[in-house]
Amino acid sequence: MKLTVGFIAVALLFVILAAVVAMSLVLKVTAPPPPAASVAIALEDLRFTPNRIDARVGVPVTLLLTNRGLERHDLSFPARHMPGLRGVEAILEPGETRTVTLTFDRPGTHAFICTLPGHAASGMTGAAYVIP
Ligand SMILES: [Cu+2]
C-alpha cells in the first residue's frame, strides 16, 4: 500500500513536470520576438533592407538609415501623424547616413515607403510591426 502511494506521488510529480515543460515550450513558440532597440536599414535602389521594424508602443526605436544606392531615397510613414518622424521625410543622398528615433503611439502594422516618384510602386516599401 505504501509503495503504491509513493508510486502515485512520483507519477503525479512527473505529470506536473511534463505539463510545466510543455507549457514553457508553448510560451516560447507563441511569444513575439523582442523588439530591437535599434534597427539598421539600408536604402538601396528600390528596396529597404530589411523592410521590417519591430517595435513596442511607447518604447523608442532608433533607425540607422544609410543610403547605399545610386539614387536619392527617403523613408516615410504616409498614413500616420507621427511627430517623432519629423526629418525622416528629408531625402538621403547616395552614401548619406542618418539616425532617427521613433516612438510609436499605437499598435498595429504601419506601412512606410520611399516617397520619390515611382520608388514605392517599384517595391520600395516596408512596415513597422508595433505590439502593445
Ligand atoms: Cu527611393
Threshold 0.85, pTM exceeds: no
pLDDT of residue 120: 95
pLDDT tens, 15-28?
Answer: 655 665 566 555 55
Based on the fold, state whether residues 5 and 63 are members of the same structural domain. Answer: no
Whether 115 and 98 map to the same domain: the answer is yes
Co-location of 11 and 50 in the same domain: no
State how far the Cα of 30 lies from the Cα of 39, in Å rounded to an integer: 23
Q: Could you tell me which residue, 18 or 67, shows the higher pLDDT?
A: 67
Task: State the distance from the centre of ligand 1 to the C-alpha of 119, rounded, in angstroms.
Answer: 5
What is the total count of domains within the chain? 2
Let me know whether 24 and 89 are in one domain.
no
CA distance linking residue 126 with residue 4, whole number of Å:
62
* Gap between the Cα atoms of 78 and 88, Å rounded: 11
Q: pLDDT digits over 33-59, tens only?
A: 555 689 999 999 999 999 999 999 989
Domain of 14, in residue numbers: 1-31
Q: Ligand 1 centre and the CA of 10: distance in Å? A: 64
Q: How far is the CA of 44 from the centre of ligand 1 (A)?
A: 8
